[in-house]
Structure 1
Amino acid sequence: MTERVDGRRTDTRERIRATALAMFTAQGYERTSLAEVADRLAITRPAVYHHFRSKEAVLTSSYGRLLPELAELTQSLQPAPAPWPRRREALDRFAALIRGEHGALLVCARVNEHALAGLPAAAELLHHLDALTAALGPGADIDGRMLARLALSTLVMAETRGAQLGGTAEQRAAAALTLARDLLNRK
């Protein structure tokens, strides 16, 4: 689909994507329909289906924008194990992805991990996150992989558990990044 000169097509597509991700996160992927997304946006259902034929299509288009960045991030850590300064930079870049345009998608994927497990698009995201985890760890052993998984989960948790953790979004992100760095710099 091409963008119209006035930007309406792209704007509607982005609004649908953002609203759907927010609803998938708040009420669950399985409990959200594209019809509800249309109602929330006060647009017609055919307008939503014009841009996305299914809920999975919303995720697939969103993942399509994130996966290259995750692949680049993982590649920056090769050959593994990367020295601490490169791993720290990669961790900082992942934290920036969460705070940036891909945050809603990463949080949605974490909150709906079980519901998305059978979707091909989600499987590809998990593959990329597993590769990043393996490359990010301070070692290839189970301890290193667990520390890397905990570090990445800590960054996502700061976004998914805001009300329970307290503080501002900036405070939670800073605390999570400090903890994630500490986890990865243990060895």
Structure 2
Amino acid sequence: MARPRTHTLELRAEIMACALATVAEHGIAALALRDVAERAGTSTAAVYSLFGNKEALHQAVLISAFTAFADAQATDPPTDDPVTDIAGLGLRYVGWATEHPRLYEAMFTDAAAGLTRSPELDTARLRAIERITDAVRRALDAGRFRPAPVDTVVTSLWAQVHGLSVLTIAGQIPEEVDVMSAAWAVIEGWLAPASPA
């Protein structure tokens, strides 16, 4: 008879990988402790021991997804042109969302909103918008964007790429639509008027 696996950090990582794979394939509604345990080759008791409960595992999945998203946003270093940086961040945003649609949905659905807040999840969520917040602040400081609170501009740009991501994932954008022009129009709306020569 095989000896039971001890509740190690390695087993925790394996359970986490299986939970992420489950959500990536089937969505957050498919996250069931028994199924994740079976997929990881362990017991439900081990999942409870290492994560506490289903909500904690759900939070861990979201933290991992937000972290992966933030890492993707940070693949290119900032340049001297914050407006170009903002456009690049938007492209990477939509790219990540469409490559990981079920994880993206898990990050921004009612199920995620209903979770008990935790410092770890709040930190992961904030890190996900760190790069765009920095680029917007630099654009405002340089006079490239018209004056406005940083959070207002970030929310405007975020809403645009979020909507574009959701529509793309749902296959709702007609083929004839120039998505890049639609995305740039929102950035252009924030540009400061050119100074008279």
TM range (shorter): 0.5 to 0.7
Q: Are 1:107 and 2:114 matched, yes or no?
A: no
Match of 1:6 in 2: none
Aligned residues: 166
Q: Kindly state the Cα deviation for residue 110 of structure 1 after the two structures are TM-superposed.
A: 0.3
Please give the root-mean-square deviation of Cα atoms over the aligned residues, in Å.
4.3
Q: Which amino acid aligns with 1:107?
A: E
1:182 is aligned to 185
Contact 2:37 2:43 in 1 (8 A): yes
1:92 pairs with 2:95: no
Q: Which residue of 1 aligns with 2:167?
A: 158
Identify if the C-alpha distance between structure 1 residues 49 and 146 changes in structure 2 by more than 3 Å, giving closer, same or farther. Answer: closer
Deviation at 1:125, TM superposition (A): 2.5
SS of 1:116's partner is coil
**Paired AA for residue 157 in structure 1:** V
Question: Aligned partners of 2:180 and 2:42: how far apart in 1?
Answer: 39
Instruction: Give how far 1:60 is off.
Output: 2.4
**Of 142-151 and 33-42, the range deviating more from structure 2:** 33-42
Give, in whole Å, the separation in 1 of the partners of 2:40 and 2:10.
Answer: 22
Q: Is the 8 A contact 2:16 2:61 kept in 1?
A: no
2:148 counterpart (120, 124, 141): 141
Tell me, yes or no, if the aligned pair for 1:151 and 1:180 is still in contact at 8 Å. Answer: yes
Larger proportion of helix:
1
Determine the C-alpha separation between the residues in 2 that align with 1:88 and 1:149.
Answer: 12
User: Larger Rg: 1 or 2?
Assistant: 2
Deviations along 1:8-58, one digit per CA (max 9) or x if unpaired, are: x84x6533322246442x47xxxx652465589998534654764433245
